[in-house]
Amino acid sequence: MYMYSLEHTNYLKKRKKEKRIITTFRILIIFIFLIIWELLARFNIINTFLFSSPSRIINTIIKLFNTKELFKHIGITLYELLISFSLASIVGIIIASILWRYEKLSKVVDPYITIINSLPKVALGPLIIIWVGASMNSIIVMALTISLFTTIINIYTGFINVDKNYIIMLKSFKASEFDIYRRVILPSNILNIFSTLKINISMSLIGVIMGELLVSKSGLGYLIMYGSQVFNLDLVISSIFILGIISYIMYLLVDKINILLKKKTNYL
């Protein structure tokens, strides 16, 4: 049981109030946007064939649900997203750690990482399909090529920008490289790592959808491609709407883990 001063209690109350206000405004912005969109569609101010409307999107999602196609496509895209996001995050942190540990190696490979990261990933799509095959594997590889190198660059940059005074102090106490990494480098980069993970969600999702547009016969990317081919823009916009929800839920999960980790480290 923790006892807080009156000032600290008031500060916590103020923070909670600010969070409630921010959450309320976030929800209000979405509702206002949807209401205006629906009104513009109802009064024929916008062309619903081109721009759809919230009610038409809901009807499209209900139809997908009734035909038992909705969760099938969501499940496939979500599976590909989770695999690519997890691989990019774990492998990215490991490679960034290796580059931090071996400075000469980082100097050698740094320009190559930058060059690969700057390559247009859409142009690599056909090559990935030929190398890996027209399957789910090529979609995951496509997502990895987009998110992995961004993860490496962001996390490695955070590692090398840690205050050198902390490292010098630990070295004066004969600390090993692993101790420095565990007690200084990682704790100092928790915020940077979680910020990178949030970026990684969108990058992985972009890669998955790009891959599905090229090779998939299922998934939300496939629905977008199919809808555009048959000029069913309600299906296209509905799929994009679902993608936005998935991205936001994953963002909230990462943010929640970050908050819980902050509380744990503060109280231990």
What are the tens digits of pLDDT across the range 207-248?
999 999 888 888 999 999 999 999 999 999 999 999 999 999
- Confidence check: pLDDT of 6 > 80: no
Q: How much is the pLDDT for 79?
A: 94
pTM: 0.85
Q: How much is the pLDDT for 1?
A: 43
Q: How much is the pLDDT for 135?
A: 84
Q: How much is the pLDDT for 129?
A: 85
What is the average pLDDT value for the chain, to the nearest integer? 88
259: tokens are: 């908050």
pLDDT in tens, 112-128: 988 888 888 777 888 88
CB 88 within 8 A of CB 204: yes
CB 64 within 8 A of CB 81: no
- CA dist 85 and 176 (Å) reads 31
Taking every pair of Cα atoms in the chain, the longest distance, rounded to a whole number of angstroms, is 74
Count H helices and E strands in the chain, helices first: 13, 0
Q: Give percent of the chain with pLDDT exceeding 70.
A: 95
CB 165 within 8 A of CB 148: no
Helical (H) or strand (E) element with 231: none
pLDDT mean over 183-188: 88
Q: How much is the pLDDT for 264?
A: 67
Q: How much is the pLDDT for 268?
A: 40
- Confidence check: pLDDT of 2 > 70: no
Torsion-angle region of 102 (φ positive above 0: left; ψ -120 to 50: alpha; else: beta): beta
| Among 34-43, 94-103, 123-132, 228-237, the least confident range | 123-132
